[in-house]
Structure 1
Amino acid sequence: MSSRRFAVLKTGNGSEFVQKTYGGFDKMSENLLEEDGEEWVVYSVMDGDFSFENEIDTFAGFVITGSPADAHADDDWVLKLCEVLRVLNQKKKKVLGICFGHQVLARALGGKTGRSDVGWEIGLKQVHLDTELVSKVFNVQLPPTVNVLVSHRDQVSCVPPGALILGSSKKTKIEMFSIGDHVLGLQYHPEFFKDVVLDIIHNLLTTNMLDDGTANKAIQSVKENDPHQEQLKGLCKAFLKGPTIKEV
C-alpha cells in the first residue's frame, strides 16, 4: 500500500463559477488536503468510473465529494458507490465523506439519510463538537463550537451501527460522525470558500429553489462571520493521514 496515494471520488459538478474559479468539487477537495510528494487521483463515480476497485489496496485513503445528487436515490452509480463503500469499510480503508459523501457513507454502512424536515440549510452556521471524542479518536484538539459553511437540504437521520456522533447543530443533529478511526462523515464543507456559498445561494434563488427570506439570512450569515477552515482542514488531514489511534 502506498501511504502517499489518495483517491477523490467525484459525485457532482460545481456551477460554471466553481468550475472556472476552483476546478470543481473534486479539485477543491484535493486542494484542501494535498501535500508535497502525494499522488491524488480523481475518479468520476457519477459517470460510472469505478476503475479504482482493482487498486483499492494501493490507496491510503478516499474522499467522497459533495454533490447536488441525492444520496438516498437509487441511481445505478449511487447504488454501486454504496457497494464499494461497504468494501472499503470492511478493509478499514480511510474514507472521508463531505456533505453528499457524509450522507451516502451513512446509507451504505447501515444508517439512514433523506430530505430534511427543516428544508435548506445554507450559509454559515455553528456546529457543536464533542471535543473529548474528537481528541480520543483522531488525536486533534478543536474548539467546542466551530463556524462552518453549509449547503444542503438532506441530512443523516440515523448513523450506522457502531458510529459515534461527533458534532451536531440546532437543525442538524448529525453534523459529523465516525466509525472507528477509518470513517469520517462531515455534513458541512471544509473545502468551500465564502464566494462558493454565495454563488450557490444566487443559483438557488434564480431557479426558485430558495425563497428571498432564507436567501437573505444565508447571505448575511456568510458576510458577518468567518468559517474555521484551518481547524477543519487540520481535522481532515489528521484523520486521513494520521496513524491509527484507537476505537472508543
Structure 2
Amino acid sequence: MVTDGDQKRYCMLMAVRDSDYVKKVYGGYFNVFLKAFAEEGEQWELFRVVDGEFPDMDDLHKYHGFVISGSPSDAYGNELWILKLCFLLQTLDAMEKKVLGICFGHQVLCRALGGKVGKAYGGWDLGLRKIRIVEDLPFCNNFFGALHDIPPSLTIIECHQDEVWEVPLGAKVIGFSEQTGVEIFVIGKHILGIQGHPEYTKDILYEIINRLTSNKLIEKEVAEDAKSRLEIGEPDRKSWVKICKNFLKAGDYCP
C-alpha cells in the first residue's frame, strides 16, 4: 500500500493462527480483514498477538484505529499474551483510540475494560443469526450512518461458544439476539464490540464447521443445523462491513 506521511494507519491484532484452508484460499486471515475493511491509500500493519507480537507502546499514537480478531482461545484465559493484550486495550481505551473487537476481540475488550465473559449459556452459536438493533441508539456517533438507514435487524455469521456476561461500566448494549444478550456494545465513540463475524464469508464458516466436527468439538447435529441455516439465508455482510469501516474511519459528529 501507499506509504506517504498523510495516509491513515491501522493496526490488526491477530489472535488466531491461519488455518490451512484460509492460507490456501485467501493467503491468511489478515487478507480476509484487508479485503473487508481496507481501502486504497491506507497502511495496515499486522501483529500476531497470539504469538506474542505486539505494537510498541510508543507507537500507539500513530494509529488511527485498531482491530482485534476472533480466536479459538478463551477471552477469560490467563495466557501471557491474553493478559498483555488486556493491558494494551486498557491503554488504548485511556487514549480514546478507536478499537473494534470481533468475536474473541469483542469478549476480550469487555474483560479488559471491567466486564465479565464466560461460556455461553446457550452453548455453541454457529451459522446465521439475526441481530436486533436497539431503536434509540444511546450515543451521538455517525458510525451507523443516518439513523433512517439502519434496519431494525441485521443477519451476521456467528461462530462462538463464549459470550459477554456483563458489559463494562459505561458501556451500552446496542444489539442482541435470541441466543446472545450482548451482540454489540459500545463505549463512548471509540470502542465497538461485535460478537459475530462481519469479515467472514460463508465458505470460511463451512470449513470451520467441518473442522470442528472432524475434531469432535461439536456434535454432528449442531453442524447440520448450522449448515442448514447457512444454506437458506445470507448474512448482511455489506451492511456490517460498512458499519465497521464507518466506525474506524469516519469523524465523530453530532447531527
TM-score category of the 2 structures, normalised to the smaller one: over 0.9
Contact 2:13–2:66 (CA under 8 A) maintained in structure 1: yes
The equivalent position to 1:158 in structure 2, one of 166, 171, 181, is: 166
Is the counterpart of residue 57 in structure 1 residue 61 in structure 2? Answer: yes
The CA deviation string for residues 206-243 of structure 1, in whole angstroms up to 9 with x for no partner, is 11111111111100111100100000011001100011
Runs of 4 or more above 4 Å deviation? none
> 2:233 is matched with which residue?
225
Contact 1:2–1:59 (CA under 8 A) maintained in structure 2: no
Identity of aligned residues (%): 38
> 1:87 is matched with which residue?
91
Deviation at 1:131, TM superposition (A): 4.5
Quick one: which amino acid aligns to residue 38 of structure 1?
E
The CA deviation string for residues 114-147 of structure 1, in whole angstroms up to 9 with x for no partner, is 1112111001111111153188433523211111
Normalising to structure 2: TM-score of the pair?
A: 0.92
Contact 2:144–2:243 (CA under 8 A) maintained in structure 1: no
Distance in 2 (CA, whole Å) between partners of 1:3 and 1:72 is 35
The equivalent position to 2:194 in structure 1, one of 173, 180, 186, is: 186
The CA deviation string for residues 38-62 of structure 1, in whole angstroms up to 9 with x for no partner, is 0000011111111332200100000
Listed as ranges, the matches of 1:195-210 within 5 Å are 195-210=203-218
Contact 1:181–1:245 (CA under 8 A) maintained in structure 2: no
RMSD across aligned positions (CA): 1.6
> 1:17 is matched with which residue?
21
Contact 2:107–2:163 (CA under 8 A) maintained in structure 1: yes
The CA deviation string for residues 160-207 of structure 1, in whole angstroms up to 9 with x for no partner, is 110010100011000000001100000000000000111111011111
Is the counterpart of residue 45 in structure 1 residue 53 in structure 2? Answer: no
Where 2:248 maps in the other structure, the secondary structure is helix
Seen in structure 2, the aligned counterparts of structure 1 residues 77 and 69 have a Cα distance that, compared at 3 Å, is: same
Quick one: which amino acid aligns to residue 74 of structure 1?
N
Contact 1:124–1:218 (CA under 8 A) maintained in structure 2: yes
> 1:27 is matched with which residue?
31
Where 1:51 maps in the other structure, the secondary structure is coil
Contact 1:5–1:38 (CA under 8 A) maintained in structure 2: yes
Where 2:66 maps in the other structure, the secondary structure is strand
Distance in 2 (CA, whole Å) between partners of 1:10 and 1:157 is 23
Distance in 2 (CA, whole Å) between partners of 1:134 and 1:122 is 29
Distance in 2 (CA, whole Å) between partners of 1:139 and 1:148 is 16
Higher mean C-alpha displacement, 50-59 vs 30-39: 50-59
